[in-house]
Structure 1
Amino acid sequence: MPTWLRARLGGQPFIYDAHELFTDVPEVVARPAVRRAWQRVENLIVPRARLRYTVGPALARLFEERHPGCPFAVVRNAPVGEELAAGLAENQPPAASSQQPGTLLYQGALNAGRGLEALLDAMPQVPARLVICGEGDLSAALRAQAGRLGLLASGQVEFKGYVLPAELRRLTAQATVGIMLLENVGLSYYYSLANKFFDYVQAGIPQLCIDFPEYRALCQQHPVAELVPDLAPTTLVAALARLLPDGQPGAHYQRLAAACQAARCEWTWEREAHTLRQLYEEAVGPPAAVPAAG
């Protein structure tokens, strides 16, 4: 709202960049009065935007259904491929061995709806380690749950807390499987396209991923993930067993890893940035020329 007011008062174009369906995130859905207030804000400013875009086709269609006559473009939050590729040669995961179990990596907020409680419940039956990078509303509760399950004392689960970007890229490249789980607790999650999905692909590691529309559509292009229909611990255990039989990458894992190598060349910010530049040029004109130094 302040940005729209500033644009209107200054006679400047207003751009609506929707990284999520904010009115349907779990924290807002649970508070009806707050949700209604944000819906009124959305209904006011979306039709007044000169350019509108979001992170995935499914969300774009949903916005267009909510706001007829207001087209939404798609600009995905893919990582910069060149920067990540430069560091991968230094950070390749260690060769698999019968003595060294695979490593599962979760990166992101430790909040409700991320499937972390179910994943911890599954871990006693998974012959692999789990590294969790991030903090959030459930930080204390998840650590307590892991403690009750004996996962901290055994070293099977490690909470890294907040991790700097360079260190996170290193940890991701050294992991065996990425974790991309969500609960269907609102349309924003159901139609999401999380940054971590692309981060795992760029790192070349297959992932355990919830079978929501955007992830399913991308996996139809390149099968980079083991998709799961629900977050029941038995479902997660079975899916991880397909990826890591006896805790080590199997043939199925290797097929997904090969798909990651193909997809990482396509799903990059370099391609998305080209789309974004075109959208802005169409909306507000090409960038002004920079005067030559005198």
Structure 2
Amino acid sequence: MKRIIATVTNDLNYDQRMQRICTSLQANGYDVLLVGRVRKNSKALERQTYAQQRFRLIFDKGKLFYLEYNVRLFFFLLLKNFDILCSVDTDTILGGGLAAIIKNKTRILDAHELFTEVPELNNRTFSKSIWGFIEKVFYPKYHAHYTVSGGVADLLSQKYSIDIKLIRNVPYKNNSIPDHSKEKYLLYQGALNVGRGLEELILVAEKIPVSIKLAGDGDITIKLKKLVSEKKLEDKIEFLGPLSPIDLQKYTAQAYIGLNLLKNNSINYYYSLANKFFDYIQAGVPSINMNFPEYTLINSQYNVAILIDDLNPGTITDAINKLLKDDKLYVNMQANCKRAAEELNWENEEKKLLKIYAEFGR
């Protein structure tokens, strides 16, 4: 049985993509260990079918965090027995890739995004150049690569002359039935970070007849809560905080409209294909997304969402009211979600994942 060590920089409990990937690999004859880090507010690890380990680090963010994590990861891997390293994103490939190269182990890269094009690196030329250099050195040294969207795959393939496969962030198939009997609300799930249209969404809250729930945490959580307080919208907007995948699925199934809003201020966002988009589909919940290439492609096939061109509060309000007021449109999109869910699920997607790993034996 081949040992796979997968590496991430999060605390493991809320990473649905890695939970699915590691569960599938473990169930198909691999011995899997997922490595992350524990944070100040981290909860105890949820029980999984695969092994998990979290580093306790001195630094929580910034350059020193990334340096400390990769140094710890390097020595950790040097002392561990494994056959395959799965590095997740650019922030784990320095320590992980170097250790795997020294030990002559199989290296597989899972790129969750265009790391050097995230909004957080806008106007940070030095940091962006460092990460770009790390990618340039290490990406070609990996034996296999996969990522989350066709657009990201094309760009990385062109940039580094590598073959990169597509493994989308689709959820497990479920037969949940939407329940709006208690409360009709809009749901945003994901990181509360810059560029997610959350400030604009708060401004929209006072113009619509339903409440908004925000599931997640991030860099601008405090700022958003302050804005809600200033606008006296506590009765319209609820901060749920980070939710376990099981709890998140419950909130999603009861939502009336799903939200996936992004500013067109980075190539990473423009070519994104978020897991929340597929979560809404699987739950039978029509959603509002950006008119970006990946969403446009899927929506042209299934018609499960309203796509908007900008984050002007008026644009968002119009899209929300359209779904709230047009019952025929809503019911049609709801049915389309269920049809799309039969195809866009992890049970189908994992077959492509297992094919990638099968090339390196079990």
TM-score norm. by structure 2 comes to 0.72
Aligned to 2:210: 128
Deviation at 1:65, TM superposition (A): 1.6
Report if the CA contact (8 A) 1:102-1:244 is conserved: no
Contact 1:208/1:228 (CA < 8 Å) preserved in 2? yes
Q: Which has the higher strand share?
A: 2
Alignment partner, residue 196 of structure 1? 276
**How do residues 257-272 of structure 1 correspond to structure 2 at under 5 angstroms?**
257-272=334-349
Q: 1:77 maps to what in 2?
A: 169
Alignment of structure 1 residues 59-78 onto 2, 5 Å: 59-68=152-161, 70-78=162-170
Alignment of 1:137-156 (within 5 A): 137-152=219-234, 155-156=235-236
String of CA shifts for 1:201-237, please: whole Å, max 9, x gaps.
Answer: 1111001111111111111111111110000000011
- Counterpart of 1:26 in structure 2 is 119
Residues 180 and 256, structure 2, Cα contact 8 Å, conserved in 1: no
Moved over 3 A (4+): none
TM-aligned CA deviation for residue 121 of structure 1: 0.9
Tell me whether 1:94 sits opposite 2:142 in the alignment.
no
Alpha carbons 1:126, 1:241 under 8 Å: kept? yes
Higher relative contact order (CA 8 A, sep 6+): 1
**Amino acid corresponding to residue 135 of structure 1 in structure 2:** D
**2:290 matched residue in structure 1:** 210
TM-score norm. by structure 1 comes to: 0.88
CA contact (8 A) 1:101 1:127 kept: no
Residues 1:38 and 2:124 are matched in the alignment? no
Q: Secondary structure at the match of 1:244?
A: helix
Q: Deviations over 1:92-135 (max 9, x none)?
A: 3134xxxx763101111111010001111112111111011111
Equivalent position of 2:102 in the other structure = 9
- Cα deviation, 1:44-101, whole Å, max 9, x if unaligned, reads 1111111111111111111112123x111101011111xx33xx25xx3134xxxx76
Secondary structure in structure 1 of the residue aligned to 2:211:
strand
Describe how 1:48-59 pairs up with structure 2 within 5 A.
Answer: 48-59=141-152
Q: How many angstroms does 1:150 deviate by?
A: 2.3
Q: What is the aligned partner in structure 1 of residue 265 from structure 2?
A: 185
Does the 8 Å CA contact 2:282/2:337 hold for their aligned counterparts?
yes
2:307 corresponds to which residue?
227
1:164 to partner: Cα distance: 2.5
2:351 aligned with 1:274 = yes
SS at match of 2:258: strand
Equivalent pairs, count: 269
Q: Deviations 1:142-199 (Å, cap 9, x if unpaired)? A: 11211222211xx111112222322211111111001100112211111111111111
Partners in 2 of 1:237 and 1:208 — Cα distance?
11
- Calculate the aligned-residue CA RMSD, in Å: 1.4
Pairs within 5 Å for 1:104-115:
104-115=186-197
Q: What is the identity percentage for the equivalent residue pairs of Structure 1 and Structure 2?
A: 38
Q: How far, CA to CA, are the matches of 1:140 and 1:101 in structure 2?
A: 26
How many Å separate the matches in 1 of 2:183 and 2:171? Answer: 28
